[in-house]
Amino acid sequence: MYRDLSYLDEVKFCPHCNEKLSCCEAPPIHVGDGLGWGSDVLFICLSDNCPLFLRGWDHIGDQYGHHASYRYMELPGSKESNVMMVGNKDAFKGSIVDPEAIKNQNARYLEEKKAVEELKSCLKEKNLSPVLTLLLDEGSMNSSRVLALEYLVKLGDLTCIDALRNHTFRDETFKEKVDTTLKKLLTENFKKEVLEAKGLVLVDFWAEWCPPCRALAPILEQVEKEAGEKIKITKVNVDNNRELSVEYGIQGIPTNKIFKDGEVIETLVGLMPKDHYLQVIDKHSK
């Protein structure tokens, strides 16, 4: 969660050796009183040449009969200092904090919090951004991501498909939820744009890797421009919507299905000239 990270910019020095103190994760328990340190991190001198550390072995051995020494320590945000007993020279060297990693994690949390808040208005503003932010962030809370899936269908924005299809989800169970949601999104969109539409609709079944499909795209743009209100043209990527492709018997692409009031009335397979499409549209618009 969000924390005050100003301590990451602090620079402290050991008064015994003048070496820079290292920012380290604090132990959960203070061996002196059994309580915590009141801080997630401590600034500790890890110099093996520090006089305090070098003298500490003999001092503790003579006084307590233990093999141990001292490291100088300061709390973040203050000049409060203390010494910590260590059993070997490597103590705390494995718990040095990476300031940039912590800053990045904190920034990620703030971005998640902002996205969750923006979900409340995403439908009104037709804003897909917070939904994708949560779905593509593997560090977001599962409850927030599940909520984002609900908004995904309500928004009905198909521009999300490529990003979600190409993302590697670490949680297989959540990946299945995303796949199911995308199928529902595509089905709902097809129902709204094609099956419930009045008049003529040309559905272009295509794929990005298909050269004839790419060649047909500008032809259909011109057809839609010249045909005007006689027909609406929409596209179905067969790679993203295999269920619809199977349902409508698509065996090769490009394949164009022409619907009238939600029913298929003609099928055109392959790349054809613009005039042929216009003739077919005129025939069925009478």
Report pLDDT digits (tens) over 114-167.
Answer: 999 999 999 999 999 999 999 999 888 888 999 999 999 899 898 998 899 899
For residue range 166-209, list pLDDT tens digits in order: 999 999 999 999 999 998 888 888 998 899 999 999 999 999 99
pLDDT at 183: 87
pLDDT at 106: 76
**Going by C-beta distance under 8 Å and a sequence separation of 6 or more, which residues neighbour residue 33?**
none
For residue 251, give the DSSP letter: -
CA end-to-end span of the chain: 64
Q: Which residue has the higher pLDDT, 236 or 109?
A: 236
Q: Which residue has the higher pLDDT, 274 or 98?
A: 274
pLDDT at 141: 87
**What is the per-residue DSSP string for 192-247?**
IIIIT--SEEEEEEE-TT-HHHHHHHHHHHHHHHHHGGGEEEEEEETTT-HHHHHH
> Catalytic residues, which ones?
210, 213
Kindly indicate the confidence band of residue 3, based on its pLDDT and cuts at 50, 70 and 90: low
- The rounded percent of the chain whose pLDDT value lies above 70 is 94
Q: Where in the chain is the domain with CATH 3.40.30.10?
A: 198-284
Kindly indicate the confidence band of residue 252, based on its pLDDT and cuts at 50, 70 and 90: very high
Mean pLDDT of 31-60: 82
Q: Is the pLDDT of residue 1 over 60?
A: no
Give the strand order in the sheet containing 263-269: 231-237, 200-206, 255-260, 263-269
CATH number of 198-284: 3.40.30.10
Kindly indicate the confidence band of residue 25, based on its pLDDT and cuts at 50, 70 and 90: confident
Q: Is the pLDDT of residue 277 over 60?
A: yes
For residue range 200-243, list pLDDT tens digits in order: 999 999 999 999 999 999 999 999 999 988 999 999 999 888 88
Tokens representing 239 are 């790679």
pLDDT at 29: 57
